């Protein structure tokens, strides 16, 4: 059995940041835009470094690799600090080192998106699936299921932008899986327009699903869809994000369901023309499957009831009901 | 015999006629319980009947006017690959399975149907697969055909997209079996009904069974939209009725593409070249995606016109899994209940196929039938 040992070393941060970083999961998070660099740097400026960096040393080669402390090392470089105190570990195996990497980031790796990112990082660093199953799935609070691991690794293949969005919105694995199913280019272009939109998880699902169906139906590429005059015009406008999202959603829905939205428009027009401002409301099955209208009203007195009856008896009300029924 | 990767026979049925007909390379044991849908299609399991085999069609729903067919799922999974097949989202054990002990099934059917001797039971074997797809499924079906010969308040319904009817042709079927085909234009067969027989072969098989005295059933279901669908369905109807006399067709069912939302993803993964799921469909309160109702009505009306023009207006034609309002828009009327439709079908058989129904169907008895729910969700 290999024996591990530790020592305190004084190392140059600029050298520590050079070359391949086998334990650089934190750099993945940086790449995803999840480092709040300014906040951390100002806190380090105020208090200085309170704990040493954790590094792994290779005695034979005389090299050191950061396990925990990438942000502190970057801060030190930016502030011209020549040397940092580091706690150096020797003789640990890869799995043990990766457990330490996880420990250092455990407070962040809580969402499905980041769990997937972490497992993807392990795979990229040659950790076997068996080890992931037996050692890391439990660490991540996940059951030791190879099917589940396969799904997480599939999600890990999504772009950093998408994973970040999924992390921030707290997407479940299922929701992320749905994203992983669409063409890469579609997801990429959709999320490229996301900063100007106000998106929830369900809205992302709905719109991506609809756009994907439009592409398949019309045989066009994601690039062609997003370059289309109406789509590009709307997404490129400097409208308020909420309003832009509303209009984009409507546009996508119209393109996906031209028949249904056309009928909806006619029915809505009939409601506006004949039934608005009344003392009752009218609704229908939006799928148009059931031939029935729901007419509802609330009355608070016999007088209000009289008014309701009179209102219902007006000729334009009957015209409106007839007009709506003509579509049902 | 179609080449299966493996053939497994359960020890309980190793002495059955069906097992004996299988080649020497068969294994003995329980179902290999294959989970991969496609892989399951290539591996055959011949086993015993498990649990109750005779029940009402699972699509029965108070929201629709259902034809209240009964089913005996003596096969499970299917060697064909229809892109829209619901089995891809339904089966857990996907091994292509056939029940060998026909006698057990027949005993159960006899026992249960004898409780209502006045009623005509239409009993299908296609709930979980194609009744006649390939040997030995079609030979297993032949065993049922012979068993139904003496059940004079039952009609066995075999339904296929194949053309392998040879085992049926020389049987003494006693006129108690209907052989039915799901039919679609060439464009649909090629793109969406992978591995099934061409329409030409299906029609040739129809002629063979009709000549052998079997009534033929036709199922224009699922109708599918594509560019040129109107002409394609007109040509299809003409092609069928240029070869078949309407008097040989006992009933025609009509329906359109439908599936639940979970199936959508399955179809897209299993058949990425199919664009069926990208068509304009809406989700109803029965959790099924369908073409927009006005579109469906247009499709059904068009098909009825084609049938009328081909002289097939006399055939009993009904809608599958549709609501009363769609019936009304298509036919101008609708059965008052599921029992009422059951009666109308029995009555049509009584009038058009003398001898198939023992006594004239009594409307009141059918109307009084009780289902696991009350009335139609109108
Ligand atoms: S023939 Fe029927 S059971 Fe077979 S794949 Fe097609 S839809 Fe499924």
Please give the Cα distance from B119 to B346 (Å, whole number): 8
For chain B, which residues make up each domain, given as ranges?
52-93+101-367
Q: Do A289 and B284 touch (CB under 8 A)?
A: yes
For chain B, percent of residues with pLDDT exceeding 90: 88
Interval between CA A222 and ligand 1 midpoint (Å)? 33
B161 lines ligand 1 (CB under 6 A): yes
Please give the Cα distance from B320 to B38 (Å, whole number): 27
Is residue A125 helix, strand or coil? coil
Does pLDDT of B374 surpass 60? no
Is there a contact between A260 and A288 (Cβ–Cβ < 8 Å)?
yes
In this predicted structure, what is the pLDDT of residue B1?
A: 54
Please give the Cα distance from B21 to B17 (Å, whole number): 6
By residue count, chain A amounts to: 328
Residue-averaged pLDDT of chain A: 93
Question: Which of B81, B73, B82, B253 has the alpha carbon at shortest distance from B181?
Answer: B253
- Report, as an integer, the average pLDDT of A86-110: 94
Q: Do A289 and B278 touch (CB under 8 A)?
A: no
Q: What CATH architecture applies to the domain B52-93+101-367?
A: Alpha-Beta Horseshoe (3.80)
B151 lines ligand 1 (CB under 6 A): no
B87 lines ligand 1 (CB under 6 A): yes
Please give the Cα distance from A222 to A212 (Å, whole number): 8
CB of B270 within 8 Å of any CB in chain A? no
Query: If you write DSSP's letter for every residue of B17-77 in order, what string do you get?
Result: HHHHHS-TT-EESS-----SHHHHHTEEEEE---S---EE-TT--TTS-----EE---EES
Question: Which of B122, B68, B132, B125 has the alpha carbon at shortest distance from B102?
Answer: B125
Does pLDDT of A214 surpass 50? yes
Does pLDDT of A2 surpass 70? no
Domains, chain A, ordered by start: 1-105 (3.90.1530.10), 109-181 (no CATH), 182-256 (no CATH), 266-325 (no CATH)
Residue of A146, A214, A290, A325 to mutate when probing chain B, most B C-beta within 10 A: A290
In this predicted structure, what is the pLDDT of residue A3?
A: 65
C-alpha distances in Å from residue B84, one per residue of B101, B259, B277: 30, 8, 9
Q: How many CA atoms lie within 13 A of B298 on its CB side?
A: 9
Interval between CA B79 and ligand 1 midpoint (Å)? 8
Interval between CA A152 and ligand 1 midpoint (Å)? 33
Question: Which of B193, B173, B172 has the alpha carbon at shortest distance from B183?
Answer: B193
- Report, as an integer, the average pLDDT of B215-231: 98
Q: Do A259 and B277 touch (CB under 8 A)?
A: no
Q: Residues of A with CB below 8 A from B284's CB?
A: 287, 289
Question: Which of B342, B51, B26, B59 has the alpha carbon at shortest distance from B222?
Answer: B59
B130 lines ligand 1 (CB under 6 A): yes
Residue in A217, A287, A291 closest to B279 by CB: A217
Q: Residues of B with CB below 8 A from A289's CB?
A: 282, 284-286, 290, 293, 323
In this predicted structure, what is the pLDDT of residue A319?
A: 94
Q: Which helix (H) or strand (E) holds A153?
A: helix A146-156
Please give the Cα distance from B233 to B299 (Å, whole number): 9
**Alpha carbon of B276: minimum distance to chain A alpha carbons (Å):** 8
Does pLDDT of B194 surpass 60? yes
Q: What is the DSSP letter of B80?
A: S
What is the residue with the minimal CA distance to atom 7 of ligand 1?
Answer: B85
- Report, as an integer, the average pLDDT of B280-298: 96
Residue in B265, B279, B285 closest to A289 by CB: B285
Task: Provide φ and ψ at B70, rounded to 5°.
Answer: -100, 160
- Report, as an integer, the average pLDDT of B53-73: 90
C-alpha distances in Å from residue B147, one per residue of B52, B109, B175: 18, 10, 12
Q: Do A259 and B292 touch (CB under 8 A)?
A: yes
Q: Do A288 and B295 touch (CB under 8 A)?
A: no
Q: What is the ipTM of this complex?
A: 0.88
């Amino acid at each position: 059995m290999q024996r591990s040992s530790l020592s305190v070393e004084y190392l140059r941060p600029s050298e520590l940041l050079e070359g391949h970083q086998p334990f650089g999961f934190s750099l993945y998070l940086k790449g995803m835009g999840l480092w709040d660099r300014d906040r951390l740097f100002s806190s380090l400026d105020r208090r200085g470094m309170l704990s040493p960096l954790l590094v792994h040393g290779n005695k034979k080669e005389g090299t050191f690799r950061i396990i925990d402390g990438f942000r502190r090392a970057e801060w030190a470089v930016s502030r011209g600090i020549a040397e940092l105190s580091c706690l150096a570990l020797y003789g640990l195996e890869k799995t043990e080192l990766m457990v330490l990497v996880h420990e250092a980031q455990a407070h962040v790796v809580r969402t499905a998106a980041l769990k997937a990112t972490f497992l993807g990082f392990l795979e990229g660093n040659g950790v076997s699936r068996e080890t992931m199953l037996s050692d890391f799935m439990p660490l991540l609070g996940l059951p030791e299921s190879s099917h589940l691991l396969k799904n997480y690794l599939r999600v890990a293949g999504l772009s950093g932008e998408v994973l970040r969005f999924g992390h921030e919105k707290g997407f479940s694995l299922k929701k992320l899986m749905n994203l992983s199913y669409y063409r890469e280019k579609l997801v990429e272009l959709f999320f490229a327009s996301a900063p100007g939109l106000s998106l929830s998880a369900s809205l992302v699902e709905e719109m991506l699903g609809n756009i994907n169906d439009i592409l398949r139906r019309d045989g066009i590429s994601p690039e062609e869809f997003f370059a289309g005059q109406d789509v590009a015009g709307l997404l490129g406008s400097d409208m308020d994000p909420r309003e832009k999202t509303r209009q984009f959603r409507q546009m996508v829905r119209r393109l996906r369901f031209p028949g249904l939205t056309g009928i909806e428009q006619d029915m809505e027009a009939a409601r506006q023309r004949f039934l608005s401002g009344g003392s009752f409301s009218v609704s229908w099955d939006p799928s148009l499957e059931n031939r029935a209208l729901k007419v509802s009203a609330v009355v608070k007195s016999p007088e209000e009831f009289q008014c309701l009856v009179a209102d219902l008896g007006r000729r334009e009300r009957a015209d409106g009901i007839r007009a709506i029924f003509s579509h049902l | 015999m179609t080449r299966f990767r493996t053939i497994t026979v359960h020890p309980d049925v190793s002495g059955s006629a069906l097992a004996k007909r299988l080649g020497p390379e068969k294994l003995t044991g329980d179902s290999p319980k294959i989970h991969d849908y496609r892989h399951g299609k290539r591996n055959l399991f011949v086993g015993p009947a498990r649990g109750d085999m005779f029940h009402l069609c699972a699509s029965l729903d108070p929201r629709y006017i259902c034809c209240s067919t009964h089913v005996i799922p003596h096969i499970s999974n299917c060697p064909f690959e229809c892109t829209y097949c619901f089995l891809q989202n339904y089966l857990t054990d996907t091994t292509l399975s056939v029940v060998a002990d026909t006698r057990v099934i027949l005993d159960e059917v006899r026992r249960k149907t004898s409780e209502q001797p006045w009623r005509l039971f239409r009993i299908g074997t296609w709930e979980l697969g194609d009744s006649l797809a390939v040997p030995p499924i079609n030979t297993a079906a032949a065993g049922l055909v012979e068993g139904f010969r003496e059940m004079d308040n039952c009609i066995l319904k075999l339904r296929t997209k194949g053309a392998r009817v040879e085992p049926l042709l020389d049987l003494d079927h006693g006129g108690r079996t209907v052989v039915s085909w799901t039919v679609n234009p060439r464009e649909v067969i090629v793109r969406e009904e992978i591995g099934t027989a061409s329409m030409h072969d299906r029609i040739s098989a129809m002629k063979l069974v009709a000549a052998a005295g079997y009534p033929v059933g036709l199922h224009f279901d699922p109708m599918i939209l594509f560019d040129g669908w109107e002409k394609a369905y007109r040509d299809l109807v003409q092609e069928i009725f240029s070869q078949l006399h309407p008097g040989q067709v006992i009933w025609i069912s009509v329906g359109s593409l439908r599936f639940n939302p979970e199936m959508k993803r399955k179809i897209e993964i299993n058949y990425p070249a199919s664009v069926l799921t990208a068509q304009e469909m809406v989700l109803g309160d029965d959790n099924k995606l369908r073409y927009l109702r006005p579109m469906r009505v247009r499709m059904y009306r068009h098909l009825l016109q084609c049938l009328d023009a081909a002289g097939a207006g006399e055939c009993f034609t009904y809608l599958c899994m549709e609501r009363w309002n769609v019936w009304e828009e298509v036919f101008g009327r609708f059965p008052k209940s599921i029992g009422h439709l059951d009666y109308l079908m029995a009555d049509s058989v009584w009038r058009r196929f003398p001898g198939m129904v023992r006594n004239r169907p009594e409307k009141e008895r059918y109307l009084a039938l009780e289902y696991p729910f009350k009335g139609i969700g109108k």
